[in-house]
Amino acid sequence: MESAEIARRFLRFFEENGHTVVPSASLVAEDPTLLLVNAGMVPFKPYFLGQQKPPFRRATSLQKCVRTLDIDEVGKTPRHASFFQMLGNFSFGDYFKEGAIPFAWELLTRPVSEGGFGFPEDRLWVTVYLDDDEAQEIWRKVGVPAERIQRRGLADNYWHMGVPGPGGPCSEIYYDRGPQYGREGGPIADENRYLEVWNLVFMQEQLSAVRSKTDFDVAGPLPAKNIDTGMGLERMAAILQGVDNIYEIDTTSKIIKRAAELTETRYGRDERSDICLRVVADHMRAGVMLVGDGVLPSNEGRGYVLRRMLRRTIRNLRLLGAGEERYMRELTATTIEAMSGLYPELKTEEARIHTVIEAEEASFLGTLRTGTAIFDAAVAETKRKGGTVLSGEQAFQLHDTYGFPIDLTLEMAAEQGLKVDEEGFRRLMQEQRERAKADAKAKKTGHADISVFSGILEKAGKIDFVGYDRTTAEATVVGLIVNGVSVPAAGEGTSLEIVLDRTPFYAEGGGQLADQGVIRTSGAEIEVLDVQSPIDGLIVHRGKVRSGEVLVGDQAHAEIDVERRRAISRSHTATHMVHRGFRNALGESAAQAGSENSPGRFRFDFTSAGAVPPSVLRDVEDEVNAVLINDLPVRAFYTSQAEARAMGALALFGEKYGDEVRVVEVGDYSRELCGGTHVATSGQLGLIKILGESSVGAGVRRVEALVGLDAFRFLAKESVLVSQLSEQLKARREELPERIEGIVSRLRAAEKELERLRSAQVLAVAGELAAGARDVHGVSLVTHRAPDGTTADDLRKLALDVRGRFPADRAAVVVVAGVPANRPVVVVAANEAARERGVKAGQLVGVAAKALGGGGGGRDDVAQGGGSRPEAIEDALRAVEAAVASAQS
């Protein structure tokens, strides 16, 4: 039975039993405490915690999940995986044990011909919590004999979230794979033979404190008992497909087979190759699903998780013999084919997924070439010295200079039998490794507990947004929050969050910045600086009480800054049009990857394998401006998501859409799903001016542009500037590029000639300096301060030139200092005769640099240093002379 069929049977069974089928949530978790969705119940967490009221009493889902805690173990065993899928059925205060247990037993044991999984009843075992007599009795009633029901303790059969909240005993269902897999005795004897297939969690207690998995305090019973179940799709597929492990099931084995073909190896040949192939299969599934959900490779957060997985995939392909070959396109296509039966949207987004993954492959192959050579040299040096640890400085250099991830350094070092000074590396990387997560969380949800927002929403109901058609609204104050706490009133000068039962203020979302404006009551005036929607259905205005006192229950007049709204709306409509323009020019793979719509200015990110030529930017700009001049009507309407997709409406990744969606059309030119505000006709944009494009990461480009009056002002300034240049250079506008290019070429030639003359002038004194050397206990010493502005390179050339003028048998040391750019530099050169007498350049430059308030070093024959005290150059030269004298005394 294929994975897609297993999922269909599970969801169909529970749908027939009154459950709402909920599509898999994005892997990008809404929960600010999680980077990625890591369990099937995560999308329902607000309902279990009582933070939000569930829209259904029963639900069922297939949820994609990613866990990275044991990513280094992936591939080493047939059981570890970072990507997996959880089937589950959930009850929110509806049925409890008496419903969950019979449902599970019926689906597992119902014949395949009747829509079940056809498990033989005598191969199923169950476990229950130590004192859960109720669960045991229900299992007995459905037909499980007492000898196949085992009791287990807190570590195995009690569930909680790890924080105060709901918890409760659980009951697990196991499948006996047979004596060839281990000894008899049920799950408590051998969990390799008796494989867990389903876990039923009975949430019935409120935990007040949680110290560990087995150490917590129970405050009392939950007001409503809930059911949370989880069945691993991969594990179920392994059983129903008659294979030994999750890497041999239909979806994963297809990727392994293709990777083996590409690298001319064979799964099962040896342990080393098998590990590499399992890593490739697991990480390709995870990577494709993450990119499909809008995650892009980066050095932070979930983007770093994706980058790490893709780069581990590429490196394991090289270990299998891929060399410089690029196989990620083939493997991406295979993965999409394998997973599209469960997630058909992958086919729709195939071009975009290819673009992102291939760009990361190209980037990392370059990194590997350089970084691996540096790594090998570091390993050789460490082993030559008899060491067993790569220094933190070496790991930092690999990461900071060559883009080598620390995880890869750790992995490669372990393969060489070495460790890495991680503490030293972390210390050096502290600033670069800091996450912006806390700041982002504070910006979007404030510092209030989400339950505060939920409480307001529960009392007030969904907030009515009237801002599509109106810029003002009469409303009632239904909530006030100060410092994360709900309050009845707030006085003058107080920073607060205020909730109205209806509002014209647009909450930031979909790339559009929030409205600003003012809220007035009979006794107060509140300046609104930001608007957010921390939970679905709630709109929160953030600002400050300018005067008076505002009370919950006050009647209010809300008014947005109309000019700001109009400017932002122009930017938002312009973004839609530019998106269409780039798709027309580059193909459908140029998918939007983010945007920001500000007053008069917008930023648009899109997927692209490389830089966009200036000619394409000009063509897109011309096309969009030609379209907007036609003054096309801009229309917004609501329809079903399926119908919107059918008519070709584009969606912004990272945004979440319900069954009913809002579509915004610009004539027949552009059609997108969008909840933002827009102009009435394209002509209201006036003008769009693309400023340029740049890279924001592997496979993603960014275009910045101006719209409306801001675009006109920019062009007006450019026109004045061009006129001034034309007048100064006595050339027509069309002649300016050629004229300026000629001037720049001549200027560069003159600079090179000046550099040559200046260098010659510096070196001209070399003979005179050598002739004036002082004898210091048998060592000829030259100390010289060069004119300010002499480059460090010229200082070095001069020192070496002077040193070369002494006979080979005459010990000589040359010290040259100068101030190239406000900071002093000193160069010391010692010939072989001087070095044989113990005079070394590296030691002497340290003496000089110390006098200059800095440091330096180098080889025994030539060394360079510097400092921060130009006024101490003469002191530095005298310090070197004293050091030479001391060495020879």
DSSP annotation string for 688-748:
EEEEEEEEEETTEEEEEEEETHHHHHHHHHHHHHHHHHHHHHT--GGGHHHHHHHHHHHHH
Same domain, 266 and 229: no
For 473-483, write each residue's pLDDT tens digit.
999 999 999 98
Could you tell me the CATH number of the domain that includes residue 663? Answer: 3.30.980.10
* Residues 626, 646 within the same domain: yes
Domain assignment present for residue 685? The answer is yes
337 and 233 within one domain:
no
User: Is the pLDDT score of 441 beyond 60?
Assistant: no
Task: Give yes or no: residues 56 and 186 share one domain.
Answer: yes
As a whole number, mean pLDDT of residues 21-27 equals 91
Q: What is the pLDDT of residues 114-152, one digit of tens each?
A: 999 999 999 999 999 999 999 999 999 999 999 999 999
Q: What CATH number is associated with residue 218? A: 3.30.930.10
749 domain-assigned: no
Residue 71 in this model has a pLDDT that exceeds 60:
yes
Rounded mean pLDDT of 728-751? Answer: 86
pLDDT of 431: 55
Same domain, residue pair 10 and 123: yes
| 120 within some domain | yes
Q: Which domain holds residue 229?
A: 3-246
Q: Domain holding 826: CATH number?
A: 3.10.310.40
Helix (H) or strand (E) holding 777: none
Q: Which residue has the higher pLDDT, 79 or 702?
A: 702
Tell me the pTM. 0.66
Candidates 232, 227, 231, 230; CA nearest to 58 is: 227
Residues 46 and 125 in one domain: yes
Q: If you average pLDDT over residues 459-464, what whole number do you get?
A: 90
Same domain membership, residue 418 and residue 308:
no
Give how many domains the chain has, as a whole number. Answer: 6
Contacts of 76 (CB under 8 A, 6+ apart): 275
733 lies in a domain? no
Q: Is residue 316 part of a domain?
A: yes
**Same domain? 215 vs 313:** no
Tens digit of each residue's pLDDT (9 = 90 or more) over 582-636: 999 988 778 888 888 999 999 988 888 788 899 999 999 999 999 999 999 999 9
List pLDDT tens digits, range 416-433.
888 888 888 888 877 554
Q: Is residue 725 included in any domain, yes or no? A: no
Q: Using 50, 70 and 90 to split pLDDT, how confident is the model at 445?
A: very low
Q: How many CB atoms lie within 10 A of CB 223?
A: 8
- For the chain, percent of residues with pLDDT exceeding 70: 95
- Which domain CATH number covers 472? 2.40.30.130
What is the SS3 string spanning 818-869?
A: ECCCCCCEEEEEECHHHHHCCCCHHHHHHHHHHHCCCEEEECCCEEEEECCC
Q: How far apart are alpha carbons 7 and 233 in whole angstroms? A: 7
Q: Which residues are annotated as a binding site?
A: 572, 576, 674, 678
User: Is there a single domain that holds both residue 570 and residue 556?
Assistant: no
Last residue of one domain, picked from the residues 499, 533, 560: 560
Mean pLDDT (the chain, rounded) = 88
| Residue 844 to residue 198: CA distance in whole angstroms | 73
Which of 201 and 78 is assigned the larger pLDDT? 201
Q: Give domain status of residue 877, yes or no.
A: yes
In this structure, the answer to whether residues 413 and 486 fall within a common structural domain is no
345 and 434 fall within a common domain = no
Asked if 699 and 583 sit in the same domain, the reply is yes
Binding-site positions for Zn(2+) read: 572, 576, 674, 678
Does pLDDT of 437 surpass 60?
A: no
Q: Are 827 and 849 in contact, with CB atoms under 8 Å apart?
A: no
Residue 382 lies in a domain: no
